[in-house]
Amino acid sequence: MLTIGKLAAAAGVKVPTIRYYEQIGLLTPPERSTGNQRLYEGKVLERLTFIRHARELGFPLDAIRSLLSLSDRPDQSCAAADAIARTQLAAVRARIGRLRALEAELERMVAHCAHGTIADCRVIEVLGHHALCQHPDHDGPDQSEFT
């Protein structure tokens, strides 16, 4: 049996994270000692490690909940798990695309910097006048909400 502190250290998470996962139902509430201390079985460490690794891969909590449910039924087809992973892969690829576009825009802003005064600074100019931005994924604020 592990205390919450030892479980946290073994899984590489913080104690409040474990409490949160219990609160939202990813981990079942543990047994309590006579002193009301949480006591966890070794299986919880495996489950918590699974959750931590899935979070590191960017899976949202609902997807992790589904994956945990699937892992509790090892005789089932893995098609549902594959679909969840494919959805996450698509989300990661989309995020990478947006980051590459942001990188290109920042490179363009820096490359056009005149290295003079703020009055002539391209970075300040582009940030202040959204129409000068060539990044296609954001159009800037709707100006009607300011008029």
136 band by pLDDT with thresholds 50, 70 and 90: low
* Positive or negative: CA dihedral 11, 16, 22, 24: negative
Cβ atoms of residues 24 and 61 within 8 Å: yes
CATH code linked to domain 1-76: 1.10.1660.10
Cβ atoms of residues 35 and 24 within 8 Å: no
Instruction: Dump pLDDT digits (tens) for 45-101.
Output: 999 999 999 999 999 999 999 999 999 898 988 999 999 999 999 999 999 999 998
The residues spanned by each domain of the chain are 1-76
Instruction: Dump pLDDT digits (tens) for 98-118.
Output: 999 889 888 887 887 767 777
Orientation angle between helical segments 4-11 and 42-56, nearest 10 degrees? 40
- DSSP one-letter code for 4: H
Tokens 């100019």, residue located: 125
144 band by pLDDT with thresholds 50, 70 and 90: very low
143 band by pLDDT with thresholds 50, 70 and 90: very low
Instruction: Dump pLDDT digits (tens) for 29-44.
Output: 898 888 888 899 889 9
Mean pLDDT of 4-20: 95
Query: Which pLDDT score, from 0 to 100, does residue 128 have?
Result: 75
One DSSP character per residue, 72-136 reads T-TTS-SHHHHHHHHHHHHHHHHHHHHHHHHHHHHHHHHHT--SS-GGG-HHHHHHH-GGG---T
Query: Which pLDDT score, from 0 to 100, does residue 146 have?
Result: 42
Collapsed DSSP state (helix, strand, coil) of residue 2: strand
**Could you tell me which residue, 128 or 99, shows the higher pLDDT?**
99
Instruction: Give the chain's mean pLDDT.
Output: 86
pLDDT at 140 over 80: no
